[in-house]
Structure 1
């Protein structure tokens, strides 16, 4: 049996591969149908245990996926709407930004999560967390300077602001996850299953807009990396949940270790895509990881 530490590292690897798959899937491709195909893959996978529980009537033996009331389903649909919005922003941004810049921006989520927690949950950060937030802001500012060398002006670049918006929505969704799992008491597998299924109707309207308005301008190209996005994310999340469920697991260690996943798409961008300014970006990423560690460990 693998330790929670080893499981966390495995989750980080799959999360990094998930970032690479996203970049490959949306590069010079239509974002809306890519997302629809991606979420349909995850929904199809989760539909199997849901159908088994419905047909067998043995929900107590399985994940308990069919024991929710109407209110819980509505709450999970709201989560799907937030995740769908975040993913749409992030995929469009990733399509138009170097992966070595887009992924680190996304990894600033600990900063936004703690700021939202201060604003809406009356949490009070410790000194180390304030230092961590300051380091992340320094890293973000440094990335803006590096981006200028590649013609990316953070203040005026639409893709940068879309990635920031995606990260903000994702951070708020993290607080909402805490509400669903702790206050409402929905099991992690149930949350993952139904929000994956509800993502399909969330993405259909966006795909219809693409079909009627943009399909001639931005055609859709099928790539095997599209279903791999869903598969890699499902594996990463499942391994992460198993790691966290270990009674000896330290979330203060798991969280920063998981953030190290950004190193994999960063190396992919430098080695495979030949992206520029890797030395300066490496320093920025190191500062960001230290900042995320300080926020998580306090």
Structure 2
């Protein structure tokens, strides 16, 4: 399967992941939700390690072989977990307080930072059609931001929007770091996903213990919801396709990142209806631009 197809599959899972994440966060404590999602994901990937240890040939057939890492490998993956934990913490707070039909497009600005970084660090060279797709996608994302004003959300003054942008910028750095992990350092995709999931759970548990638990009686309480399980499963599926895409030789991290941002289509369509958000028709125009941009990426 090509890296571009894997990127699109990852985008579909990410779109549903955003909807589940929004549902999990409604009237809920952010840090415990983040930890619960990661802990659930860790519980789901633990069998990968057990099968890899006890029945490696069977694990190979399933495509879930987890390899042991040396100290350097563990430190590399731990660094990724720290970057992503910071990004998720910022974006979870933003998503809780913003309509998903606006928050998802803000998150879609990540490819701008990834593209600039990829051009500077890896000297990537997208084709002319892919450049056109990138331009159309950026224009569409900007249109979404303008539509936010119709809902009383001025991006330049809203702290939740700024948190989303900050989390997106940090997340873009994670995208560039992924290429180093999977291509330069040549770490296997499933191995990275396994240890990353465990490391993220550990770091987010520390955040809960340090910042939420001591104040739990005076702040928003945590409520378990089925959406938390959905978040964990969808993230595992999205990351599985994504890590495999980036690990393929010749994969352009700038294009992979932008293709994944097509998740805004799912977030808009499903999330907008599920949460009964306003101005869906005007937003559909900007959404059409996203679809066109992705089509150009596939050309």
Give the alignment's TM-score, normalised by structure 2. 0.83
Which stretches in structure 1 are left out of the alignment for 5+ residues? none
Aligned-residue offset at 1:80: 0.5
The 1:227/1:293 distance shift into structure 2, 3 A limit, reads same
Residue 97 (structure 2) pairs with residue 99 (structure 1): no
Question: Partner residue of 1:36?
Answer: 35
Point out the more displaced range, 158-167 or 91-100: 158-167
Question: Partner residue of 2:222?
Answer: 220
Residue 47 (structure 2) pairs with residue 45 (structure 1): no
Aligned-residue offset at 1:3: 9.7
Aligned-residue offset at 1:214: 5.1
Q: Distance in 2 between matches of 1:41 and 1:18?
A: 14
Aligned-residue offset at 1:16: 1.9
Asked if the contact 2:14–2:238 (Cα under 8 Å) also holds between the matched residues in 1, the reply is: yes
SS in 1 for 2:218: coil
Which stretches in structure 2 are left out of the alignment for 5+ residues? none
Deviations 1:164-216 (CA, angstroms, capped at 9, x unpaired): 12222222111111111111111100010000000012102221201113552
Q: Distance in 1 between matches of 2:176 and 2:263?
A: 21
Q: Distance in 1 between matches of 2:100 and 2:175?
A: 23
Question: Partner residue of 1:231?
Answer: 233
Question: Partner residue of 1:274?
Answer: 276
Give the alignment's TM-score, normalised by structure 1. 0.84
Aligned-residue offset at 1:163: 1.3
SS in 2 for 1:186: coil
Aligned-residue offset at 1:154: 0.5
Point out the more displaced range, 177-186 or 10-19: 10-19
Asked if the contact 1:110–1:292 (Cα under 8 Å) also holds between the matched residues in 2, the reply is: no
Question: Partner residue of 2:21?
Answer: 22
Asked if the contact 1:30–1:220 (Cα under 8 Å) also holds between the matched residues in 2, the reply is: yes
Point out the more displaced range, 64-73 or 255-264: 255-264
RMSD: 3.4
Aligned-residue offset at 1:297: 5.3
Deviations 1:84-112 (CA, angstroms, capped at 9, x unpaired): 11111111111011000111111222222
Aligned-residue offset at 1:229: 0.5
Point out the more displaced range, 275-284 or 151-160: 275-284
Aligned-residue offset at 1:277: 1.1
Q: Distance in 2 between matches of 1:267 and 1:83?
A: 26
